[in-house]
Amino acid sequence: MFSLDKSFISKDINEILHSGSGGTQVRPYKMPENETKWVVKIIPIPNDILLIKSFQEIVLGFTCKYEGILPLESYFIEKQALGGYKIYLKFPRMKESYEDKLRRAIQHKTFIPENEIIKDLYSLVCSIDYLHGKDVAHPNIKPSNILFDEQGNIKLADIGVAKYVSPNGPNKVEKNKKEICVAPEISNIGSLFFEGDLYKVDVWSLGMVFAEACLLQRGLYSFGQKNAQDKELYLKSELDGRYGEKLLTLLSRMMELDPTKRITLNEIKTILEYHYNEILVRYICICLKM
């Protein structure tokens, strides 16, 4: 493991790959051989109370060891002269985000193949299922938090916003009006905090990401407010047979307005495994006929 120590902070790094909320930045980390194999996320922390809260990303980053989750390599905390802190988190550098992939597909009007949609969706379902198994929800699933490495493997990122879920409750999450993939039970409430089933929030958000991928559209606000049956009809009419009916039905069930009726992760996994095998058999049959 390459350690991240104070020698990094003194280095002059101008390129900024991504800026997040609250002044968060992600920059390339130069190795001795001058290769940027890592990136460093820099989080400004104004006080001790927020410093304690920020340790969640460090703890989750080291404890959530799963192939589909972006791993935390190391970290460093620097106390600022005028008060507050900066936390430096070192991660493997990824090739691109799902945001990049979706933007490219929209720009060139090239629909993402169905088997690719199913493969990516299944990989993320397994990653989220892993988090849920550790009593952790990720209520900020969106294209920019889904990353690909150089080999095309998909990684779920930004674990720092994840929430520990207590079976006895209450489980609260702050409302964020800016997020377009957030579930309606959060976006439609009048208060600043949502209290409810955060696992079902993850299912909705994942469904919205892939509905956008199928439709090659961003910001589907009105679509999100439709009931599951109307969503399914809309998807089928807009896509005109481009994707299988089972996939579109699945996405609609993932975005059921009533969270108590929303499909579960285990049900999604079962459907995707069966559906992917069907596609594989069709592909083999086509190859045999050639």
- Rounded to whole angstroms, how far apart are CA atoms 150 and 144? 17
The count of residues in the chain is: 290
Which residues, 6 or more positions from 78, have their beta carbon under 8 angstroms from its beta carbon? Answer: 6, 9, 85, 86, 87, 88
- Rounded to whole angstroms, how far apart are CA atoms 203 and 82? 42
What ranges do the domains of the chain cover?
18-92, 96-285
pLDDT in tens, 5-31: 444 443 433 333 344 444 455 555 554
Which residues, 6 or more positions from 267, have their beta carbon under 8 angstroms from its beta carbon? Answer: none
Q: Which CATH code, of 3.20.20.70, 2.60.40.420, 1.10.510.10, 3.30.70.3400, is assigned to 96-285?
A: 1.10.510.10
Q: What residues does 91 pair with on adjacent strands? A: 39
Low-confidence ranges of the chain (pLDDT < 70): 1-36, 168-180, 187-195, 221, 279-283, 286, 289-290
- DSSP-derived letter for residue 264 is P
CATH code of 18-92, in short, is 3.30.200.20
CA-based nearest residue to 19, from 39, 49, 46: 39
Whether the domain at 18-92 and the domain at 96-285 fall into the same CATH topology? no
- Rounded to whole angstroms, how far apart are CA atoms 158 and 145? 6
What pLDDT shows up at residue 71? Answer: 86
> If DSSP codes are grouped into helix, strand and coil, which group holds residue 197?
coil
Which residues, 6 or more positions from 132, have their beta carbon under 8 angstroms from its beta carbon? Answer: 165, 199, 202, 265
Per-residue HEC secondary structure of 59-127 comes to: HHHHHCCCCCECCCCEEEEEECCCCCEEEEEEEECCCEEHHHHHHHHHHHCCCCCHHHHHHHHHHHHHH
What pLDDT shows up at residue 19? Answer: 40
CA-based nearest residue to 166, from 126, 204, 199: 199
